Amino acid sequence: MNRKPDISSWQNKNHGFTLIELMIAMVLGIILLGGVIGIFLANQETSRINSQLSQLQTSARVSFQLLSRDLRSASFSGCGNNPNVVNVTTAFNAAAAPWATWNGGVLGYDTALPQIAGMTPFAGTDAIRLMYGTGDGVTVSGHDVASSTFTVNLSPAANGFVVGELALVCDASAKAALFEITNIANAVPFQVRHLQGAASNASGFLGLPLGSPTTFGLGAMVMPLESVAWFVAENENNGKSLYRSIVVNGAEQADEIIDGVDNLQFEYEVLQGTAPPGVWMSANNVPATSWGLVISVRVVLTMENGTQMSDNLNTMNHMVANRNRMQ
């Protein structure tokens, strides 16, 4: 006996979703999708901030490496750490350009910021100037005071000496002098000259008091002078950048180190007695006669980062001891 299928029962078992079920499913889907999108956006923002932080740290690390080198070398005159350096560049440096004026090798600026390499540092930031003998230098085998001539062991040009730029000389008796190079000889006998002239040195003599004849003995060292400054100024994109200036052919030239810099601050540890520690001071509080007693410098570099990152993450602190004052 054939039985007919129960059509009503089959239809009941295969009916679709009701409108209410679809709406509930859509709401749950939207809630789930919203959660997934929220997690994705949060992870994306975290990745962006981590990338930005990594970039900030890398930029700051490179800057601190360059700055630390200058800070550690500051005031190096070649022979001991005597801050007394005879400067005979008065005629050459008639305008008292800071880059040609030895001031213990370290000089900081706080509120009274000078122009550097034709640029004006941002108000509220600090700047610093550092001077030191650089390179391996050449050794003196003879010093003719009458002709203002050093005879040296190596080719001056091959060791960074350029006519018209500045050099330091020192010897075992801790005498030191800063002068303009007026001539060099790159064939034997190798020579470096420090003649007096209207547009060069005020005196062909390197003694103290200024203009006194003095002989730098056998084994004295002559080195090119490095005069650098660090500061924050406006860049070509109207933002703030960290700059390092150097002296090229008798004039300052600024190189952009990193952009996106918000602030640069320095503090100086000034020796009070004969041994560390010293007293930490801002540039404005360091007596004019005490720059030769700076034994350490603390640097605070603040990078621009908008509002997405804690100020604690974009501010880098670094302290560097002046190795020439810690001996």
Domain residue limits, the chain: 54-321
What's residue 252's pLDDT? 86
**Neighbour tally for 4: CB within 10 Å:** 5
The DSSP bridge partners found for residue 303 are 261
What's residue 124's pLDDT? 93
Query: Which residues does 222 contact at the CB level (< 8 Å), separation at least 6?
Result: 137, 138, 139, 140, 150, 152, 161, 167, 168, 169, 192
Rounded Cα distance between 223 and 170, Å, is 9
The pair of structure tokens assigned to 10 is 């089959």
What's residue 251's pLDDT? 78
Q: Minimal CA–CA distance to 205: which of 90, 83, 78, 84?
A: 90
**What does R_g of the chain's alpha carbons equal in angstroms?**
33
Sign of CA dihedral 73, 66, 301, 226: positive
Rounded Cα distance between 185 and 208, Å, is 27
Task: Specify whether the CB–CB gap between 291 and 103 falls below 8 A.
Answer: yes
What's residue 88's pLDDT? 86
In the chain, how long is the greatest CA-to-CA distance?
141
What's residue 98's pLDDT? 80
Q: Give CA separation, 208 vs 3, 99, 145, 289, in Å.
A: 130, 21, 14, 18
Number of helices and strands (H, E) in the chain?
2, 16
Rounded Cα distance between 325 and 74, Å, is 9
pLDDT in tens, the chain (327 residues): 555 555 555 555 556 678 787 788 788 878 888 777 878 777 776 666 666 666 666 666 777 888 888 998 888 877 766 657 888 886 555 456 788 777 778 999 998 898 999 999 999 999 999 988 887 789 999 999 999 999 999 999 999 899 988 899 988 877 888 898 999 999 999 999 999 987 788 889 998 887 889 999 898 999 998 999 999 999 998 889 999 998 877 778 999 988 888 899 999 999 888 778 889 999 999 998 888 889 999 999 888 765 455 555 677 788 888 776 655
Query: Prior bond to 5 cis, omega within 30?
Result: no
What's residue 85's pLDDT? 81
Residue whose pair of structure tokens reads 């060099």 in the numeric block: 184
Residue whose pair of structure tokens reads 């990078």 in the numeric block: 303
Using DSSP's 3-state secondary structure scheme, residue 308 falls into coil
Q: Is 263 exposed, middle or buried (0-12, 13-18, 19+ CB in 10 A)?
A: middle
DSSP 200: S
